[in-house]
Amino acid sequence: MSTGGKGCTRKEKCERSSEPRRFASDIKQCVRLSVHPNNISVSQFSVTLVLEAHNVPELSAGVNCTFEDLTEMNGLVEGNRIKCFSPAEKEMPRIIVDKGDHQIVQLYLKSKETGLAFANTSFVFYNCSVHKSCLSCVSSPYQCHWCKYRHDCTHDPRTCSFQEGRVKKAEGCPQLLPADRILVPVDVVKPITLRAKNLPQPQSGQRGYECLLTIQGSEHRVPALRFNSSSVQCQNTSYFYDGMEMSSLPVVLTVIWNGDFTIDNPANNKVHLYKCDAQRGSCGLCLKADPLFGCVWCKGDNRCTLKQHCPHPENQWLEHNGINSKCTHPRITQDGNKVVKNSSSSV
Instruction: Kindly state whether residue 251 falls inside one of the protein's structural domains.
Output: no
Tell me which of 100 and 27 has the higher pLDDT: 100
Instruction: Kindly state whether residue 121 falls inside one of the protein's structural domains.
Output: yes
Q: How confident is the model at residue 59 (pLDDT cuts 50, 70, 90)?
A: confident
**115 and 50 housed in the same domain:** yes
- CATH assignment of the domain containing 180: 2.60.40
**154 and 188 housed in the same domain:** no
Instruction: Kindly state whether residue 4 falls inside one of the protein's structural domains.
Output: no
Print burial letters for 235-251: b (CB count within 10 Å at least 16), e (below 16). Answer: eebebebeeeeebbbeb
- CATH assignment of the domain containing 70: 2.60.40.10
Q: How many domains does the structure of the chain reveal? A: 4
Q: Are 241 and 184 in contact (CB under 8 A)?
A: no
The pLDDT score that the predictor gives to residue 19 is 45
**34 and 90 housed in the same domain:** yes
**295 and 312 housed in the same domain:** yes
Instruction: Report the distance separating Cα 23 and Cα 171, nearest Å.
Output: 54
**222 and 325 housed in the same domain:** no
What residues make up the domain containing 18? 11-126
Q: What is the pTM assigned to this prediction?
A: 0.79
pLDDT average, residue stretch 176-189: 95
Instruction: Kindly state whether residue 2 falls inside one of the protein's structural domains.
Output: no
The pLDDT score that the predictor gives to residue 93 is 66
Q: Any long-range contacts for 19-26 (C-beta under 8 Å, 24+ apart)?
A: 19/57, 19/58, 20/57, 20/58, 21/55, 21/56, 21/57, 21/58, 22/57, 24/55
For residue 200, is pLDDT > 80?
A: yes
**167 and 180 housed in the same domain:** no
**106 and 145 housed in the same domain:** no
The pLDDT score that the predictor gives to residue 335 is 55
- Over residues 203-220, the pLDDT tens digits come to 999 999 999 999 999 999
**52 and 158 housed in the same domain:** no
**306 and 325 housed in the same domain:** yes
Q: Are 64 and 44 in contact (CB under 8 A)?
A: no
**144 and 120 housed in the same domain:** no
The pLDDT score that the predictor gives to residue 40 is 94
Q: How confident is the model at residue 112 (pLDDT cuts 50, 70, 90)?
A: confident
**23 and 109 housed in the same domain:** yes
**265 and 291 housed in the same domain:** no
Q: Are 190 and 222 in contact (CB under 8 A)?
A: no
pLDDT average, residue stretch 137-141: 96
Nearest to 275 by CA among 303, 300, 252: 303
